[in-house]
Amino acid sequence: MTALWQLSARQLARLVQSGEVSARELARTFLDRVDRLDPALRAFVDHRGERALADADAVDAALARGEPVGPLAGVPVAWKDNLVRRGEVTSAGSRMLASYRSPFTATALQRLEAAGAVLLGRTNMDEFGMGSSTENSAHGPTRNPWQPDCVPGGSSGGSAAAVAADLCPLAVGSDTGGSVRQPAALCGVVGLKPSYGRVSRSGLIAYASSLDCVGVLARTVDDAALWLRCTAGSDPGDPTSAAEALPEFAVEARPDLRGLRIGLPWELNGPGLADEIEAVLADARAQLRTLGAELVECSLPHVSVAVPTYYLLAMAEAASNLARYDGVRYGFRGAASGSCEAMTTASRSSGFGAEVQRRLLLGTFALSCGYQDEYYGKATQARERLREDFRRAFAGCDLLVSPTSPVPAFPLGSRIDDPLAMYLCDALTVPASLAGLPALSQPCGRTAAGLPVGLQWMAPPRREDLLLQAAHVFERHTDHHLPRALP
């Protein structure tokens, strides 16, 4: 008999809705697994324990009264430590917010609870989302369930590791330049970044506001689609949220990939890839052809400047967003005597970690007098050129594919002192982020050492339906998502 922790979110919800399993039993099962496995992984920074069990009891009570409980009835869901929940600590992986308690709950979490989900606990992350390895956290690093001496990716590494280790079937993350997709690839799970504005950012602690998206880590494409249906939609609390509703679609409606033209941007499918990544992707491309897709070569000429463009824009926006952490209104206050300036300097020097300080300094420089047009202005122009590249590519293709990460999971500590090497881990994911496109990573094979490799799908704006349907076809005809990292 299949253990409860091995079932998908959709399967678990059906068991609860039918009365075969109680929501409390589900919550207890996953909490016990967290207690047993997470001390070594450190995917969670906190779990809600008795509070989660009480929420599960409320779902069971609603079912007993014959009330509707939603499509995620009783499903335990974890969330990244940068989405706030009323009255509970949200630290964004930073000492700066170690004791911060929000007066409200993020819209994405509200909608999950309205759909019947039981919120299990907060997952670890790179501080304020700034990192690709989940090593830049005030809570310490998270380990990859497939290889404990390797990173899980970042910055949503805690969420990816939690799903990969079956500590929860779904975990919310955030994706600014690949922070859902890259850890999904390194941990062998599905990671969905919706179109910019598809899911409300209200209650997401800001990093780079023109790029930040709320996304999800899941075991299956179908579960990612289920999460999106529960969370998508406009929100008065987020003026950038999309006004149009998510189109109705069945993820399993497409039997194969016949009739689809899938583009292979050469800039994302060769230069800079590790040999073992290229070998696995060659097999994945062959499988796409077998499923009936027409693969066509295409080009995104301005991808060559995507990484510097992304980091200029993201660092500049971060410098603006994180200026609020000054030791005055809320957050960490450093010990200093004398002037307000000395107190602010002490607070920011001690409250922020080294990587955050590096990015804030660079972002402040990019926005400083005499340099804003030269750096931030040109980066904005380069971003528009890249968007035009995608528009041209989608004129001849329905979808684009590439590897998600140029390298598999790498050893803990191996890149932490080399920022440029770390930033290049995002080379394949930042283009879709800059263009605001929906993108998804799913497992497509393994290296000789058994480390997962991810296939990235990119779709035109607001075409999550096509993205999820195509990825579901690939998943249904392969078994890359089935192996388990931990018993």
pLDDT in tens, 341-393: 888 999 999 999 999 999 999 999 999 877 888 899 999 999 999 999 999 99
Strand partners, 46: 122
Of 35, 105, 113, the residue nearest 77 (C-alpha): 113
Catalytic residue flag (residue 347): no
Catalytic residue among 155, 156, 159, 195: 155
432 and 458 Cβ atoms separated by less than 8 Å = yes
Question: How is the beta sheet containing 213-218 ordered, strand by strand?
Answer: 44-47, 118-123, 76-80, 170-175, 213-218, 190-193, 439-446, 452-458, 399-403, 261-265, 294-298
pLDDT, average across residues 90-107: 97
Give the pair of three-digit tokens for residue 480. Answer: 């890359």
> Considering the entire predicted model, what is its pTM?
0.97
Structural domain includes residue 368: no
pLDDT band at residue 457 using 50, 70 and 90 as cut-offs: very high
pLDDT at 341: 87
**Poorest-confidence range of 41-45, 69-73, 324-328?**
324-328
35 belongs to a structural domain:
yes
CATH number of the domain encompassing residue 206: 3.90.1300.10
Establish if 187 belongs to a structural domain.
Answer: yes
Judge contact between 260 and 470, C-beta under 8 A: yes
| Full residue range of the structural domain in which residue 48 is found | 4-245+438-450+462-476
Q: Is residue 70 part of a domain?
A: yes
Is 362 part of a structural domain of the chain?
Answer: no
C-alpha–C-alpha distance, residues 364 and 472, integer Å: 43
Q: Is the pLDDT of residue 330 over 90?
A: no
Q: Which of 22, 132, 179, 200 is catalytic?
A: 179
Is 217 a domain residue? yes
How many distinct structural domains can be found in the chain?
1
Query: pLDDT tens digits for 200-213?
Result: 999 999 999 999 99
Instruction: Give residue 85's pLDDT.
Output: 98
Q: What's 220's DSSP letter?
A: S
Residue 402 is a catalytic residue: no
User: pLDDT tier at 136 (50, 70, 90 boundaries)?
Assistant: very high
What band does 164 get if pLDDT is binned at 50, 70 and 90? very high
Query: Residue 63 falls within a domain, yes or no?
Result: yes
Which member of 22, 80, 200, 347 is catalytic?
80
405 annotated active-site: no
pLDDT digits (tens, 9 = 90+) for 216-252: 999 999 999 999 999 999 999 999 999 999 999 999 9
Is residue 42 domain-resident? yes
42 vs 305: CA distance, rounded Å: 35
